[in-house]
Structure 1
Amino acid sequence: MSRKGVKLLVDSLTRSSKHFNKSEVECLVNLFDTLVAKARSDFAGVGFNRVVFRDILHSAFGMTDDVVLDRDCFQVYDLNGDGYISREEMFQMLKNSLLIQSADEEPDEGIKDLVEIALKKMDHDHDGKLSFTDFEKAVRDENLLLEAFGPCLPDIKSSMSFEQKIFRANS
């Protein structure tokens, strides 16, 4: 992309972004261009596809969970792909992400309680399942809910390391 094209893209994205300033948008655009160029050389012109994206998540952030690597955040939790996160899907994600179970309580009971709490907090239309609209509104209101059913984003240490590499590369 030409310098003028990058500038126009950065200006456009900066105007529409609520979470990034102009220099952050510029770094992200430069990073994307770098990753696409690397992908073209490493993968014989294939471009920035799912394989390349998975490779970057693995190499830059140490992410190895296939379920997470193959989907975006909502789809990670929508296990059957029907467009909703059901109680059963929440239960499965929570069951896989909780490390310690109370010895006094049947293990699944605690998870069922957490599912009900999550639904109460996130199910805005009260239909007993989360649509993408419910999910999006809930995580915009409370960012920590994004990982309520288990991690789907890189840990903070990996993210900070990645940001430092990008900052040094663009300075």
Structure 2
Amino acid sequence: MQQLNSVNKKNLQKQAEDLANHKNLHFDKNETEKLLIKFTELTQNNKRSFMDRNQFRDLLHEHFRMTEEILMDRVFRAFDADSDSLISMKDWVVGLSIFLRGSLEEKTDYSFRVYDLNSDGFISREEMFQLLKNCLVKQPAEEDPDEGVKELVEITLKKMDMDKDSKLSKGDFEASVKSEQLLLEAFGKCLPDRELSESFEYYIFGK
């Protein structure tokens, strides 16, 4: 990777200082600076200092073993705060703060945004089906594989749909996760486990 010159390093230090004051950021100034340096290294061959969808998905696959296309796309959208189809330095730092070190409340909000495929504020039966259909082990050839998914959707709705309106609101989702944290990733793997988080932090921070 090319070395940062003194001007670029000073700019990154200033940006790190600004970002370190971001509300609820879980990185200190030194860690934020290292995240920005890594971002600069990763995007140095790009025309602009942004990370595109494909590059971000490659990173999710390599470091966090994510393989589901739909979930990788939704994680990208959750990081892309201004919906410009690019990950900026700020998107990178704020997104990783929640992804790696977020509170339960932050991770619940993040997971809901990932699963709300059309961003209408609800997770519908159709969205649950779409998310779960690739998660189940394939059924025997003589059975309709969709039936198992539909059954799982109904079981999940019965457990999480607090107001019984046949869809999950953010309130339903929050209440369900609060009572049983395993439901945080009810519709697919969208957060790293501890081992992968630690491995990625070592990759960034060297500690």
TM-score bracket for this pair, using the shorter chain length = 0.5 to 0.7
Indicate how the Cα distance of structure 1 residues 90 and 5 shifts in structure 2: closer, same or farther if over 3 A, else same. Answer: closer
Indicate how the Cα distance of structure 1 residues 31 and 133 shifts in structure 2: closer, same or farther if over 3 A, else same. Answer: farther
Residue of structure 2 equivalent to 1:32: 35
Structure 1 Cα separation of the partners of residues 46 and 12 of structure 2: 23
Structure 1, residues 134-158: CA drift from partner, whole Å, max 9, x if none? 3345445543212212222345543
Q: Output the amino acid matched with 1:64.
A: T
Of 128, 133, 137 in structure 2, the residue corresponding to residue 95 of structure 1 is 133
How many residue pairs get aligned? The number is: 161
Q: Aligned residues: percent identity?
A: 47
Structure 2 Cα separation of the partners of residues 106 and 59 of structure 1: 33
Of 60, 69, 73 in structure 1, the residue corresponding to residue 72 of structure 2 is 69
Q: Output the amino acid matched with 2:185.
A: E
* Deviation (angstroms), 1:129: 0.5
SS of 2:44's equivalent in the other structure is helix
Are residues 1:53 and 2:68 paired?
no
Of 156, 161, 164 in structure 1, the residue corresponding to residue 199 of structure 2 is 161
Q: TM-score, normalised by structure 2?
A: 0.57
Residue of structure 1 equivalent to 2:166: 128
Q: What does residue range 7-22 of structure 1 map to in structure 2 within 5 Å? A: 7-13=17-23, 16=24, 20=26
Are residues 1:144 and 2:144 paired?
no
Q: TM-score, normalised by structure 1?
A: 0.66
Structure 2 Cα separation of the partners of residues 27 and 119 of structure 1: 44
Indicate how the Cα distance of structure 1 residues 34 and 51 shifts in structure 2: closer, same or farther if over 3 A, else same. Answer: farther
* Deviation (angstroms), 1:93: 2.7
Q: Contact between 1:39 and 1:47, CA under 8 Å: does it hold in 2?
A: no
Gaps of 5+ in 1: none
Structure 2 Cα separation of the partners of residues 25 and 141 of structure 1: 31
Residue of structure 2 equivalent to 1:117: 155
Q: Contact between 1:40 and 1:46, CA under 8 Å: does it hold in 2?
A: yes
Q: Contact between 1:27 and 1:166, CA under 8 Å: does it hold in 2?
A: no
* Deviation (angstroms), 1:118: 2.1
Indicate how the Cα distance of structure 1 residues 134 and 165 shifts in structure 2: closer, same or farther if over 3 A, else same. Answer: same
* Deviation (angstroms), 1:67: 1.0
* Deviation (angstroms), 1:4: 5.4
